[in-house]
Homo-oligomer: A and B are copies of this chain.
Amino acid sequence: MTSKRPLILVTNDDGIHAPGIRFLIKIMNTFGDVIVVAPDSPQSGMGHAITINDTLYCEAIQVIKDEPQKEYSCSGTPVDCVKIAINKILKRKPDLCVSGINHGSNSSINVIYSGTMSAAVEAGTQGIAAIGFSLLDYSIEADFKPSEKFIKSIVSQCLSNKMPNGVVLNVNIPKLSENKIKGIKICRQANGHWEEKFDKRTNPLGRDYYWLTGTFVNNDKGEDTDEWALENGYVSVTPTQYDLTAHHAIKDINNWEL
Q: A65 on the interface (CB 8 Å rule)?
A: no
Q: How close is A54's CB to chain B, nearest CB, in angstroms?
A: 9
Q: Are A240 and B245 neighbours in the complex by a CB distance under 8 Å?
A: yes
Identify which of residues 45-93 in chain A touch chain B, using a CB-to-CB cut-off of 8 Å.
Answer: 45-53, 55-59, 76-77, 79-80, 83-84, 86-88
Q: Are B164 and A212 neighbours in the complex by a CB distance under 8 Å?
A: no
A112 to B114, CA, bound (A): 12
A141 contacts across to B, CB distance below 8 A? none
A158 contacts across to B, CB distance below 8 A? 256
One of A4-12, A28-36, A172-180, A185-193 contacting the partner: A185-193
Flag A123-159 by CB within 8 Å of B: 1 or 0 each. Answer: 0011100000000000000000000000001100110
A125 to B246, CA, bound (A): 14
Q: A18 on the interface (CB 8 Å rule)?
A: no
A161 contacts across to B, CB distance below 8 A? 255-256
Q: Are B197 and A112 neighbours in the complex by a CB distance under 8 Å?
A: no
Chain A contact residues (Cβ within 8 angstroms of B): what range?
Answer: 35 or more
Partner of A241, one of B121, B183, B245, B258: B245
Q: Are B189 and A245 neighbours in the complex by a CB distance under 8 Å?
A: yes
5 extra A-B contacts, CB within 8 A, seeds A86-B196, A188-B243:
A59-B208, A158-B256, A184-B258, A239-B246, A241-B249
5 closest Cβ contacts across the A-B interface?
A47-B48, A239-B249, A241-B246, A239-B246, A47-B47
Instruction: Jot down 15 A-B pairs with beta carbons below 8 A, ordered by A.
Output: A47-B79, A48-B118, A55-B209, A56-B211, A57-B209, A83-B198, A127-B193, A154-B258, A157-B258, A166-B246, A167-B249, A183-B258, A184-B258, A186-B258, A188-B245
Chain A contact residues, CB within 8 Å of chain B? 42, 44-53, 55-59, 76-77, 79-80, 83-84, 86-88, 109, 111-113, 118, 121, 125-127, 153-154, 157-158, 161, 164, 166-167, 169-170, 183-184, 186-189, 191, 193-194, 196-198, 200-201, 203, 207-212, 214, 237-250, 252-258
